[in-house]
Amino acid sequence: MIKVVVADDEEKVCQLICNLVDWSAFDMRIVGTAHNGLEALELVECLLPDLMVTDIRMPGCDGLDLIRRAKRLCGRLEFIIISGYGHFEYAQTAIKYGVGEYLLKPVKQEELASSLKKMQDRYRRRTEQLTQKEQLKLRLQSDRDRLRSGLFTDLLLNKNTDSRALQLEQINQNYHYALRPGCFETVAVKADGSSGRLTPEAIEVLGGKVLHILRTLLRPLCMESEFFFQGTRAWGILNYLPEKRQAVRRQLKAALDEMTAHMDLLPGRFSIGLGKAVGTTVELAQSMDSARRALDERLVEGVGKLLYAPPGDRPYLHHRSLLARTVREMEEGLEIMDPRSVVDAVRRMGEGLFNCGSTTGGDVLYLANEVCSSYVLFLRGLPCELPDTDGFVGDFQVRAEDCASARAVWEELCTAIQSSMEELVSLRQRGNIRPIRMARQYIREHASEPLTLEEVSGVAGFNPSYFSTLFKKETGQNFVEYLSQVRMDRAKELLKESNLSIAKICEQVGYADLKYFTKNFRKNTGVRPGEFRKLYS
């Protein structure tokens, strides 16, 4: 028999918990009740219980202190905490100390019973009281769960997505489902605000709560359903009759409201993305993709909602010119090692996205990743000592995953690039490259003029011979090659973005001879200036 102590500073709450369920059905017996932390500790010392159900805030001895001290007295003691507070730190710390379950006030019979069943199973596993038949049943259940969750993994990784592999009979056989003809729909649930703040133990407890809520509310309406929690996202597959669709929607909204109530663990909000309801399992991968895109919409529509995927499946296309301009400005800023111009270019792009009414959440994430990847690519092309870039994109994606708004994603991007640029500048300043930076900036600003090596080396403060060697070492090009490249890049911009004649462009980029300009341009691009312009007209 599992011995239980119930502790709460409200006597009526203690009575409610004691009378809410049939404790003997869980092979449990309440051996004592306490109304403050010190009384609870005395009962632990005297009775050595197996489980304590306690409020997280207790007079006489703080709830967290109670858990710490009780664990010292009885190391095997398990806890279910009860909380009516929205104190993230309390719940987090409690779970860190080994609390396996938590309940919100007012305590519900069904939730208490579910938590007690989990505690009973943990106790019996720990004390090896499971019969051979029960051990076999648990192993079979574990194998069944692995098979069923494998469908989510394969869909998310786009495995087995051809029509033959996703026929209903194959899914039922290969993944241990019992799907039947009807509607098939996927859902995605996201918990925002958790990155770096939830311990693995807290994520496990939170995931258990989310799955319990989804299963409790949706399974009665479905012919078949399954849910899977990974990271801070839950995925679900629902198989129901068409006439149940509105009822499913209502229960999804109820699930969202109930999950939002569990904010002791999470200083953020939940959102649910609804995949397209389809009539055949062959389309499950598409439904999963639309659920993922629907969840991205929380960035522009706000969290705490049921969300739907925007029409179309080609993000960012109407932002191509904005992306191209930003990438070019970033490259220019990196060449002259100017952090402000790089970050400002990214910020301007963000404002352009936010002020465009057609921007979707998918646009924001896609474009942020494109900018991030382009930054790393340009960075690795610089001929100097660099900050670590191996995990730069991955680290940004982890932080972006936790963001609940488009502006938060973009701010994370700007912060990451700014920190990296500051480190890069610091590294380069230690290498005596400031004169070369000045020279490159001077070349860009005066490229249309008849520049000479002597003039530019004088700006840098070196004699021409030493400057030439240092310039080649830092840029990978000699002075003439670099000047030619700057002029060619400017010529290409003018050909694409202006109606100036080729002769006028030749003059504006610093060439006095049109034939020489045309020869160099063809050598640089492989085509003549006029042909280049036609490619972009």
pLDDT at 336: 79
Domain 434-535 belongs to what architecture?
Orthogonal Bundle (1.10)
pLDDT, residue 138, reads 64
pLDDT exceeds 80 at position 379: yes
Q: What is the mean pLDDT of residues 237-245?
A: 95
Overall residue count recorded for the chain in this entry: 537
pLDDT at 349 over 90: yes
Q: Which residue spans of the chain are classified as CATH 3.40.50.2300?
A: 2-126
Tell me where in the chain the CATH 1.10.10.60 domain(s) lie: 434-535
Q: How confident is the model at residue 329 (pLDDT cuts 50, 70, 90)?
A: very high
Q: What mean pLDDT comes out for the span 197-223?
A: 84
Considering only 57-71, 121-135, 433-447, which range has the smallest mean pLDDT? 121-135
What local confidence, expressed as pLDDT, does residue 476 receive?
A: 87
Find the mean pLDDT for residues 504-521: 92
- 229's torsion region: left (phi>0), alpha (psi -120 to 50) or beta? beta
Could you tell me the CA-to-CA distances from 362 to 158, 194, 294, 353, 509 in Å, in that order?
Answer: 18, 21, 9, 12, 39
- The answer to whether residues 470 and 453 touch, using CB atoms and an 8 Å cutoff, is no
Token pair, residue 167, equals 């026929």
Pull the structure tokens for residue 135. 């051990």
CATH 3.30.70.270 domain span(s) along the chain: 141-308
Per the CB < 8 A criterion, the answer to whether 31 and 47 are in contact is yes
Residue 517 pLDDT greater than 70, yes or no = yes
* Strand bridging mode 233-240 / 183-191: antiparallel
Residue 275 has a pLDDT of 92
Q: How confident is the model at residue 263 (pLDDT cuts 50, 70, 90)?
A: low
The predicted model scores a pTM of 0.68
Q: Of 514, 442, 516, which Cα lies nearest the Cα of 483?
A: 442
Quote the CA–CA distance of 430 and 321 in Å, as a whole number.
Answer: 37
The whole-number pLDDT of residue 462 equals 79
* Three-state secondary-structure class, residue 265: coil
Quick one: DSSP state of residue 72? Answer: H
- Topology, domain 141-308: Alpha-Beta Plaits (3.30.70)
- CATH topology for 2-126 is Rossmann fold (3.40.50)
Map tokens 């109670």 to a residue.
Answer: 66
Other Cβ atoms within 10 Å of 449 Cβ, number: 10
Q: What percent of the chain has pLDDT over 90?
A: 42
348: left (phi over 0), alpha (psi -120 to 50) or beta: alpha
pLDDT of residue 534: 86
- CA distance linking residue 514 with residue 525, whole number of Å: 16
Displacement of CA 155 from its chain's centroid (Å): 19
Vertex 517 angle, CA 515 and 522, to 5°: 95
pLDDT at residue 85 in the model: 57
**For 150-192, what is each residue's pLDDT tens digit?**
888 888 776 555 544 568 888 898 899 999 999 999 999 988 7
Question: Please, are residues 431 and 474 in contact by the beta-carbon 8 Å criterion?
Answer: no
Give the Cα separation of 124 and 122 in Å (integer).
6
What's the pLDDT tens digit per position in 440-480?
899 999 988 889 999 988 888 878 887 888 888 888 899 99
Section 408-427 average pLDDT:
90
